[in-house]
Chains A and B, each alone.
Chain A
Amino acid sequence: MRIASGNRRDSSRAGRWPRALLVVAGAAALAGTGSGGRADEPDAADMAHARTVAATVCGTCHGVDGNSTQPKFPRLAGQKASYLVNQLKAFRAQTRGDPDAIGYMWGMASQLDDETIEALAAYYAAQKAAASGGGNSALIAHGREVYQHGLAADGVPACSSCHGADAHGTQEFPRLAGQHAQYILKQLASFQSNMRKVAIMHGVAQNLRLPEMEAVAAYLEVQP
């Protein structure tokens, strides 16, 4: 089983290269905007392939519909396509360096071509995020406070200012609603230690203490 699109519907080089070049060119053009947005709208064949790859490869960990049941693996349903594209490319380029990225996704993404990345991102973005269960209500209430208003005394800005009041994300920033609390905690720790190098989040996480991280993670996990 391979997951790059090259050998499924168009294995001949003559058929593949022009399109791939277009994608690369498009990506390069968009890279300058800083949005990391999609270079090309996936067509029906791309989407069908993405669904197959998602179900037979990605789905084992992330869930066929992106609603992973195991907290080690992030939920991808309803995630912003632009964010997914950026992450898959960062795994492929080995520039995202948190432990599970290294152990799992550097390998999985290493041979993905841009077409497949775009299509997978579009597929997961189109999936409906499933509702998560409840949690400790006091912790969630504290998390809501931190998420919506930040911690002024510690210089922590409101998470909602970038990720949205409903935590559904924006073009530039990922959806956090419904994400596994354990996954969010691990990412915050990786931002803090700079294993996952994201300047904005490094700054935010440096001023967050563990109880606040746990509260925010608990709050986000139960958001619809």
Chain B
Amino acid sequence: MPRNTLIGVSRNLAATAIALASLAAVPPAQAVPSFARQTGMACEACHTVFPELTHFGRVFKANGYTLTNQKQVQDVTGKKEELLALSQFPPLSIMAQISYTQMKTGVPDLSNAGAPGVAQNGTAGFPQQFSLFYAGKIAPHLGAFFQLTYENDAGTIGIDNSDIRFADEALLPDNQTLTYGVSLNNNPTVQDLWNSTPAWGFPYAASNANVSPLAGTAIAGPFAQNVAGLTAYLWWNESLYAEVGGYRSAQQGVTNSLTGGAGPLDGTASNVLSGLAPYWRVAYEFNRDRHSLEIGAYGAEFKVFPGGSPDSPSPLSGPTNRFNDVAEDLQYQFIGEDNLFSVTATHIHESMSLDASFASGASANPSNTLSTTEVAATYYYRRKIGGTVQYFQTTGSTDTVLYPATPPGGPGVITSANGSPDTRGYIAELNYVPWLNVKLSLQYTWFTKFNGAASNYDGNGRNASDNDTLYLLLWFAY
């Protein structure tokens, strides 16, 4: 839940914050029956309950989604080189999320400045999200996970998570293995194998009709689908994992103001990365009996031009804001026949050097820190009935410009009276999985602190608990 400080650095802070926070507040969803069709294996081979991966699922992903047990249309050269290996059925899937959101207290209706009221509380999303996937093998060592998504808040179809991989495996002496590959993807950590990192972390689905806190780290969402990253990885003995790469801006829906083309990006775009943002990841996974334990670290450094908007351009040169994220993560899974239990945890520490924003008066401090912690525990009985409890917390430097107070006469809600980004709370979720590709969820989010305070956090009398959210979800994929 805490997401997106980064956007707070841009000029139209509140508007951009809402727009991007709502994007990031909907975690991308990834239950893909096309993988099951391709491998001929049931969902449980790769998932405890979708979308959480088992060890086998992680191996399948690291191998580029290419394991297939379908008949192939093939072509070879005279030297027996493979030129083509096409599955007889394309790996297509659909996914739908239908939801209902009720906040504890509704938000102001700003549509009529002369007679302000309260917006309708209780939002049906039908669908909240609808996706089409191509997820599977493309060529012998090449596979892809492509997601095209309609979202009800945007009302449009756009590109969602994408991960194209080339991978192979080498046999080392003493029966050791080395999996190696490269991933071309559009969201930092979307290529990761564990559910303890942001892109595939809990909550796997969340409301897009609630209020999101102001602050979140750069690695946890704001660049999703607006960057192109190339990373290379090694996985030794399915245990020791290392990955390095970099991301560059690849913005969607942005045009050059001179040519009207998709680029080059100019000063009308916001959140443009300067050069390449380096990304790194190390992890160790230990498997024994029914237990799987992963401990790891990951990080990235984003240098971002403050950028502008079509109405208020700002040149893509000069000082940048730098966000250096360093994170630790842990995942434990117990996968029994009847009982499945898992814990995921991550702590992200962000150091911000706000050279650009501080110079322009868009931040009160030249540098800030921000830390997020998320710890979740999940239990399922026979993959049918289960639930998750998560604790989340955001703490960071007080910055009265970056996390601004409610202006006189303003509606508040998404502001911070004391300039603090501190937010914490809990999520409890109950799930019923009648079939392995259908999930019914009842989720409740409690905020004990929101944008810096438990009570009257916006200076307009709104309490953190007013943002508590009930979320009902029907989620299926086919």
Contact = CB atoms under 8 A, between A and B. Distances in A.
A182 B336 CA distance: 10
A69 B39 contact: no
Contacts of A57: 67
A104 B41 contact: yes
B171 interface: yes
Contacts of A56: 63, 169, 171, 177
A45 B289 CA distance: 33
Interface stretch (A1-9, A81-89, A212-220): A1-9
Contacts of A12: 76, 80
Interface in A176-198: 182, 186
Given A2-B68, A11-B76, A55-B175, A61 B42 contact: no
Contacts of A102: 42
B169 to A, nearest CB: 5
B41 A108 contact: yes
A10 B80 contact: yes
A109 B40 CA distance: 9
A60 interface: yes
A34 interface: no
Interface in B362-403: none
B39 A107 contact: yes
A107 B40 contact: yes
B177 A72 contact: no
A59 interface: yes
Interface residues of A, number: 33
A160 B260 CA distance: 80
A7 B74 contact: yes
Given A1-B140, A9-B80, A55-B171, A110 B40 contact: yes
Interface in A1-28: 1-3, 7, 9-12
Interface string B66-77: 111111101010
Contacts of B85: 2, 7
Interface string A47-77: 0000110011101110011000111100000
B159 interface: no
Contacts of A3: 69
Contacts of B141: 1
Contacts, number: 85
Contact of B69 (A7, A10, A108): A108
A32 interface: no
Given A7-B82, A12-B80, A111-B71, A72 B56 contact: no
B287 interface: yes
B124 interface: no
Interface in B416-441: none
B289 A71 contact: yes
B215 to A, nearest CB: 40
Contacts of B72: 2, 7
A107 B169 contact: no
Contacts of A61: 56
A51 B39 CA distance: 20
A39 to B, nearest CB: 22
B74 A70 contact: no
B135 to A, nearest CB: 16
Interface string B233-251: 0000010000000000000
Given A9-B80, A64-B177, A72 B335 contact: yes
B54 to A, nearest CB: 10
A223 to B, nearest CB: 18
A128 B178 CA distance: 23
A56 B170 CA distance: 8
Contact of A60 (B42, B59, B70, B80): B59
B337 A72 contact: yes
Interface in B155-191: 169, 171, 175-177
Given A51-B171, A56-B171, A103 B42 contact: yes
B171 A52 contact: yes
A107 B238 CA distance: 22
A107 B290 contact: no
B23 interface: no
B138 to A, nearest CB: 13
A106 interface: yes
B449 interface: no
Contact of B67 (A1, A69, A72, A103): A1
Nearest to B37: A107
Which 7 A/B pairs are nearest by Cβ-Cβ distance? A107-B40, A103-B42, A64-B175, A107-B41, A11-B76, A56-B169, A60-B59
Interface of B: 39-42, 44-45, 55-56, 59, 63, 66-72, 74, 76, 80, 82, 85, 140-141, 169, 171, 175-177, 238, 287-290, 335, 337
27 contacts: A1-B63, A2-B68, A2-B72, A2-B85, A2-B140, A7-B72, A11-B76, A12-B76, A52-B171, A55-B169, A56-B169, A56-B171, A57-B67, A59-B177, A60-B56, A64-B177, A70-B288, A70-B289, A71-B289, A72-B290, A103-B42, A103-B44, A104-B45, A107-B39, A107-B40, A110-B69, A186-B337
Interface of A: 1-3, 7, 9-12, 51-52, 55-57, 59-61, 64-65, 69-72, 102-104, 106-111, 182, 186
